[in-house]
Homo-oligomer: A and B are copies of this chain.
Amino acid sequence: MKITQRVKKILANYESDNPGTKTKLARMLMHGRLGGTGHMVILPVDQGFEHGPARSFAPNPPAYDPHYHFQLAVDAGLSAYAAPLGMIEAGAASFTGAVPTILKLNSSTSHATSKDQAITGSVGDALRLGCSAIGFTIYPAADDQFEMFEEIQELAEEAKSVGLAVVVWSYPRGGNLSKEGETAIDVCAYAAQIAALLGAHIIKVKPPTAHIEQPEARKVYEAQGIDVSTLTARIAHVIQSAFNGRRLVVFSGGAAKGLDGLFDEIRQIRDGGATGSIIGRNTFQRPRDEALVMLDTIINIYKGRA
């Protein structure tokens, strides 16, 4: 595998990491149909934990089987597959080397009565399962935000020391935040900044709206004339907030919409300078053939061909 100039340039941004971690980043950036382009499309499957099995898999029953998702990620030529412990354990040997995996180390349930997650995996688990990265969700603004920051601080330090990459899902919620504020542009850019400051290599945030949540921030956005009028502009602002593009940022799908709306949104995300997309339910809740067609289009969008 010959690392492309584009990927070399990205890796150079991770200047403090050891060769082990850089190798894992390279593995994800060079894998699949977007390999070498600097773009990534990741398949995350943690809905079984978050929403339960029926809500996650009943629309497409083959997806109850953990092998289904590995195979889908392989066949679609995705960059990586992210899931909690049991899902990875159930397929890690069958799909050894077939697709880079990201072990989600914390999880929540729809039963949860607080804005927090449980640690459900370890760096040791990620190593024994041959994963390329650990994944971790933080809830900036939540009453437990500091505990979550401290957890990822410890896990990330350990992961980096053993040559793994770190992916942070940064989802503001809880505390004094309004529901609308969870996807506000100021809050989303802040979430990307926090993840970067915590040492994430790859940051996952939601596509932001034009809403501005914090009064102190609003003053600055207005005074400085920060453009938040289009999604592309907002994405660009988030990328800027991730160390001016020195960190990889992938975006989840936004609110429910048709395929055309999704593709259009992804084009804007791409045009804003995003690394790529991380698409879960939209993928595995469709019949496999439809999912493969959809992912093909998304990949082509990032290749600039759609």
Contacts and interface: CB of A to CB of B under 8 A. Distances in A.
Interface of A: 13, 15-17, 48-49, 51-55, 58-59, 61, 64-66, 84-94, 107-113, 116-122, 124-125, 128-129, 140-141, 143, 145-147, 149-150, 153-154, 157, 161, 172, 175-177, 186, 189-190, 192-194, 196-200, 214, 216-217, 220-221, 224, 226, 237, 240-241, 243-244, 246-247
B15 A189 contact: no
B240 A140 contact: no
Nearest to A49: B197
B221 A186 contact: no
A15 B94 contact: yes
Contact of A85 (B17, B84, B150, B198): B198
Contacts of A149: 107, 118-120
B113 A214 contact: no
A214 B109 CA distance: 12
**Stoichiometry, copies per complex:** 5
Given A53-B240, A119-B153, 11 more contacts: A15-B94, A17-B89, A53-B190, A53-B192, A53-B193, A54-B190, A54-B224, A66-B246, A85-B198, A86-B196, A107-B149
B128 A146 contact: no
A55 B217 contact: yes
Contacts of A143: 113
Contacts of A177: 111
B53 A175 contact: no
A192 to B, nearest CB: 8
Give the 9 A-B residue pairs with the shortest CB-CB distance, closest first.
Answer: A118-B146, A15-B93, A111-B141, A118-B149, A52-B190, A53-B241, A65-B244, A86-B197, A16-B89
A221 B58 contact: yes
B189 A53 contact: yes
A252 to B, nearest CB: 19
A291 B190 CA distance: 25
A61 B149 CA distance: 27
Which of A54, A89, A241 counts the most B-chain CB atoms under 10 A from its CB?
A54
A17 B125 CA distance: 11
Contacts of A94: 15
A208 to B, nearest CB: 12
A122 B157 contact: yes
A48 B111 contact: no
A94 B153 CA distance: 23
Contacts of A216: 51, 55, 110
17 contacts: A15-B89, A15-B94, A16-B90, A48-B197, A54-B186, A54-B237, A65-B244, A66-B244, A86-B196, A87-B243, A90-B243, A110-B190, A110-B216, A112-B145, A113-B176, A118-B150, A118-B153
A217 B247 CA distance: 37
Nearest to A88: B16
A49 B194 contact: yes
